[in-house]
Amino acid sequence: MIAQKTKYALKALMVLADEKAEAGAPKRFLEHILLGLKRAGLIGSRRGRNGGYERIKDPARVSLAEVLRLIDGPLAPLPCLSRRAYQRCDDCTDEETCRVRAVFEGFYAAYILMIESLTLADLQKDATPIRSFPLPEPPAGE
């Protein structure tokens, strides 16, 4: 799941991208997030009377996967599937025959292709979900 901190980071980037809305995050928390985004080179800052944060990277070049990894860390559901933070699972004896890994590997491959193709510019367009297949109804009680 995307953490609240990541949602605030995406909202802050959208605010800087379209300069229309407010992120709605607590000020100190947002400042912490913005400093991380600045260190990563996604935004810049200016001091002084008209100072503040500004977007320095084109929204079409800011991958949502890049922001998610920056704020939440690795995207993989299992450490053995991570391309950038790979670690062998402590309880695994053979990755090739691990059924848990096999199940998650398929959906993770589809997820990573989708999330890496989306950019901040896609978030700016509208709130219409991007769907290429119908989503199943959630089980009762969820």
25-48 confidence digits (pLDDT tens): 667 777 888 889 999 998 888 888
- Token look-up 């935004």 returns 43
E-assigned strands of 8-108? 43-46, 52-55
- CB neighbours of residue 55 within 10 Å: 20
Tens-place pLDDT, residues 53-101? 888 888 899 999 999 999 999 999 999 999 889 999 888 889 989 989 9
pTM of the model: 0.66
Nearest to 113 by CA among 73, 63, 43: 63
